[in-house]
A = this chain, B = another copy of it.
Amino acid sequence: MGLNKVVKNAEEAIHDIKSGVTIMLGGFGLCGIPENCINALAATDLNGLTCISNNAGVDNFGLGLLLKKHQIKKMIASYVGENAEFERQLLSGEMEVELIPQGTLATRCLAAGYGMPAIFTPAGYGTECAEGKEVREFNGKQYLMEYAFDADYAIVKAWKGDTQGNLIFKDTARNFNPLMAMAGKITIAEVEELVPVGELDPNFIHTPGIYVHRIFQGTNYEKRIEQRTVRKRN
């Protein structure tokens, strides 16, 4: 019934997304990105998208797949290295990019999820990031006023979720995911493991189901590692 948020797969989850909308996507680098939904978006003819995500994927994985197909009109991110096609589209003017501090990105998500229209942060004060922004002093320190995001969709990746949309995340794959889950008008969660209600401990839910509208168990997670760094055993 009404509380069962389960959809079949990524295609069903994104079925009503239209060209030109704003989508937030969880993940930090390639860690914790909603692979299934990104692949599904890349298989559509959607374009003119505004994407809010900390990074923009790599050339042939993650948001890089949408970039390659020119589906993204504007990217809002904090760091967009590691992507030659991104660079090309940016320099050619095919795509617009708005770079914002990582903490500002996170907190503007939190603000949306917590119904706070704006927040204050010192990040970027006195830099070109402050251009056009309201500056305000509190206790002798200067802050920028930054607005809550207003995103049509949030797409996140969780470790486990139940059919009512309660989510838990694993390790640093948490990152922006629970924040964006709270911030979308419609929130889509793909999970590695979909469990029945009652299986997750209510004390340790990261994202309560009230914030989640659609959920499905993803398949074939590649979980690519950007910087494999190891030490030798002694």
Residues on A close to B: CB < 8 A?
Answer: 107, 114-121, 138-139, 141, 143, 147, 168-171, 174, 202-204
Contact = CB atoms under 8 A, between A and B. Distances in A.
Chain A binding surface, main DSSP class: mixed
A139 B150 CA distance: 11
Closest 8 CB pairs of A and B: A117-B138, A204-B204, A117-B120, A116-B119, A116-B120, A118-B120, A117-B143, A170-B203
A117 B145 CA distance: 11
Nearest to A173: B203
14 contacts: A107-B114, A107-B116, A116-B119, A116-B120, A116-B121, A117-B120, A117-B139, A117-B141, A118-B138, A119-B119, A138-B147, A170-B203, A174-B203, A203-B204
A169 B138 CA distance: 33
Contacts of A138: 117-118, 147
Contacts of A116: 107, 119-121
